[in-house]
Structure formats: structure tokens, C-alpha cells
Amino acid sequence: MSDHNNAMSDHSNAFFSHIAQTSDDPIGLEIDSAEGCLLRTTDGRTFVDLISGIAVSSLGHRHPAVIDAIRQQLDRHLHVMVYGEFIQKTQSDLASLLTSQLPESLQRVYFVNSGTEAIEGALKLAKKHTGRQKFVSFHNSYHGDTQGALSVTGRDVYRNAYLPLLPDVHFLEFNSPDNLDQIDEKTAAVILEPIQGEGGVIPAGKEWLQAVRQRCDETGAILIFDEIQSGLYRTGKLFAFEHYQVVPDILCLAKALGGGMPLGAFASSNEIFRVFRENPPLNHVTTFGGHPVSCAAAHANLQVLLNGDFGQKVDRINRIAREMLSGPGIVELRGMGAMLGLELDSPERTQQVVERCFEEGVILGWTLHSDTLIRIAPPLVIEEDLLRESLQVILNSLE
């Protein structure tokens, strides 16, 4: 056995022996490098990443602008102080650029490390601002795996092993006008995804979302949008809420925000954020939130997104997918922009397609919430020929 194969074996052994596993059957690819839309393994195989590392790598892997920004920041400094005490250029630049794209009511941003941390911060902010404890969420929602985020996740299979969670959380039917009166004067916040991701790639109805906004206005409840998957042009607009003419009181972001580096954020108004500064000061803190290298990467990533024609790129991805993905075995292709869910007619066929595509070098997402849904979320920079070739592999796998 060569030294190269020995090294592969050592890494694989360490992965299975010492890294805590989250399933009995991890994918187990040993990644050697990644570039653009492609992943390369240590045994010489190449895979098309048609799920963008789960909606993270919107500019593909290792975009040159992002890599250059990271290298420049490495020459300046890494971590210097817990979040919010020192002025750091990359944090300030990112906050300025991000809020320049947001409405007046979302002009202050708090940086964290991940999506679930953004949700945790948003829930705490809503409770402290309103002085209320009740939350309203929706069935089949997914907001993260920490205990606060899990408390508002509408899927018992995740929740049951960790009960009791936060009390006074009420789950309504997504897209249903019934029971919106459960949003009342005791409600601290309503939390929802404009497009349910893990729940099946289901967009909110426009009139329904506007009705939720109106009910929150009537009762003084905070409206939190979880755009951790749908943000940063994934739906064809910079933020999914732009499709609906509905502005949340708190906006949560992560995944694609960092350009491949770990970063989350939640944005709100000056008035709402004021409560984090008093009674007592430092009542919500994070050591590594807004890490300067992550912020440098995110700033470069956002600049590229804003300076490119990504609305048109996403429309093209959507058009090609809807043009190609139809026929026997396919029930529906739903979603918005480049956040798509392919519903098939049986769990067996779904497993067959995912496995055959994997054998042919195309990585798809298989949602944990449905055994008949395949998630498709390619990098927004994918070239048309590669997209068509990859979708053809899906069609071939259906036969």
C-alpha cells in the first residue's frame, strides 16, 4: 500500500474512531480539494455539488475574491477580543454593506457563528424587548438543534428526545389562515421560514404571510424571519422577504453569508437591540461571533453577489430545472429560484435516484423530513452545460 493510501486510511480510521458521528451511515467521502462546483476526493473521483454544502457555497467553493480577502485578513489579525468590544475593520465593513441592502427597520446587526446561534439570539431579543414569553411557530419548520431553536422547530422527531424544552410554544399550520388568533398580546414573537427548507421546500403564500405580519402588528408581537437557507440570492432576490413585500422585525442569516466560512447574523432596529445593552449590560455575548476572518470572507462574498447579475443567474437555474425535471416518477418540482424540492412518487425511487446520482458523481440533498423529496440547491455560479448534465443524470437515474 502506498504512503498516499496509508494516509487515506489513517484519516478514515480517525473519522470513524474519534469524530462523533451523527448517523450510522455517513456519506464518508474523503475530500481532497474543492473548486467552483466540484469536489475532488483523495481516491481521484470528482463530484458535482448540487446542494452547495447545504445552501452554503452560493459562489461555489473557494471563490477567488473570498480566498483573497481571507489571506489579507490573516496578515492583519485573528481573534482579538470577544464580540462587541473592539472596533474591527472587517466587522464594520460587513455591517455597513449588509445594512445598506436592508430596510430602515433592520439597520443594526449582531454577528454570531452559526444559524442556530442567530435564532437563539433572536428569540432572546424578542423576549427581552416585549417582556413576554410565548412563541408561535409552525408545523414542519426547522430552526436549529440547540435547545431554544429546537423549542420552536415544528418536528417532533427532533424534539422528543430532548423534552422538556421551552414552555409556551404553540405550533400552527404553515400557510393556513386558521388559528392566527393564537398570535395574541401574550406572544413575544412569531418565527417562520419564508420558504420551509427541511419541511419540504414549501414557499409561504403571499397573502398568508402578509396576514401574519398584520396580526403581529395588531398584537405587538415580534415577527422573526429565518432566512438562514433562503437568504443571499438563493431565491433570486437578495432576501426572500423581498418577494412578499413583508419586512420582519428580526432577520436571521447564516449559511451562504460567510462565503464558506462560519458566520451567522441577526438584524433588527436600533430600538429593539437597545435591550441587549442594559439590565444588565453584556446580557447576550459571544466569544467568536463576527470573527474577523469570517467577516472578511463574508464582505467579499456579498460584494461579488451584489455586483453580479445573480437574479438573472438564479432565474436561469430555475427555468432550466423546470424545463428538464418532469416525466414518469416525478410528482412535482417546487420551491423558488435555486432553492428547489423534487418530489418523487415513492421512497424507494427517491433512494434509488440519490444513490445512482452519487455513483455518477452528482451530490443531492435528501431532506430528513420527507423520504420522497430531493433537495436541489446548486451553486449560483454553475455553468449551464454542467447544470444540464447534472440534471440529466437525475433523469437517467429515474429510469
Q: Residue 369: which pLDDT band, with cuts at 50, 70 and 90?
A: low
pLDDT in tens, 46-69: 999 999 999 999 999 999 999 999
Q: Residue 1: which pLDDT band, with cuts at 50, 70 and 90?
A: very low
State the Cα–Cα distance between residues 256 and 304, nearest whole angstrom. 12
pLDDT in tens, 266-324: 999 999 999 999 999 999 999 999 999 999 999 999 999 999 999 999 999 999 999 99
pLDDT at 368: 60
- Copy the grid coordinates of residue 64: 477567488
> Is residue 157 pLDDT above 80, yes or no?
yes
pLDDT at 12: 85
Identify the residue with better confidence: 356 or 27: 356
pLDDT at 5: 45
User: What's the 3-state SS for the chain?
Assistant: CCHHHHHHHHHHHHHHHHCCCCCCCCCCCCEEEEEECEEEECCCCEEEECCHHHHCCCCCECCHHHHHHHHHHHCCCCCCCCCCCCCCHHHHHHHHHHHCCCCHHHCEEEEECCHHHHHHHHHHHHHHHHCCCEEEEECCCCCCCCHHHHHCCCCHHHHHHHCCCCCCEEEECCCCCCCHHHCCCCEEEEEECCEECCCCCEECCHHHHHHHHHHHHHHCCEEEEECCCCCCCCCCCCCHHHHCCCCCCEEEECHHHHECECCEEEEECHHHHHHHHCCCCCCCCCCCCCCHHHHHHHHHHHHHHHHCCHHHHHHHHHHHHHHHCCCCCEEEEEEECCEEEEEECCHHHHHHHHHHHHHCCEECEECCCCCCEEEECCCCCCCHHHHHHHHHHHHHHHC
pLDDT at 6: 47
Given the C-alpha cell 423534552, which residue does it identify?
163
Going along the chain from its start, the domains and CATH numbers come out as 15-62+309-398 (3.90.1150.10), 66-307 (3.40.640.10)
Instruction: Give CA 268 to chain center in angstroms.
Output: 18
- Closest by Cα among 202, 193, 197 to 240: 193
By the 10 Å C-beta count (0-12 exposed, 13-18 middle, 19+ buried), 211 is classed as: middle
Instruction: Tell me the whole-structure pTM to 2 decimals.
Output: 0.96
Q: Average pLDDT in the 152-165 region?
A: 96
Give the contacts of 371 (CB within 8 A, at least 6 positions apart). Answer: 347, 350, 351
pLDDT at 62: 98
Q: Is the dihedral of CA 269, 270, 271, 272 positive or negative?
A: positive
- Tell me if 187 sits within 8 A of 136, measured CB to CB: yes
pLDDT in tens, 168-226: 999 999 999 999 999 999 999 999 999 999 999 999 999 999 999 999 999 999 999 99
Given the C-alpha cell 424571519, which residue does it identify?
225
End-to-end Cα, the chain, rounded Å:
39
In the predicted model, what is the mean pLDDT of the chain? 95
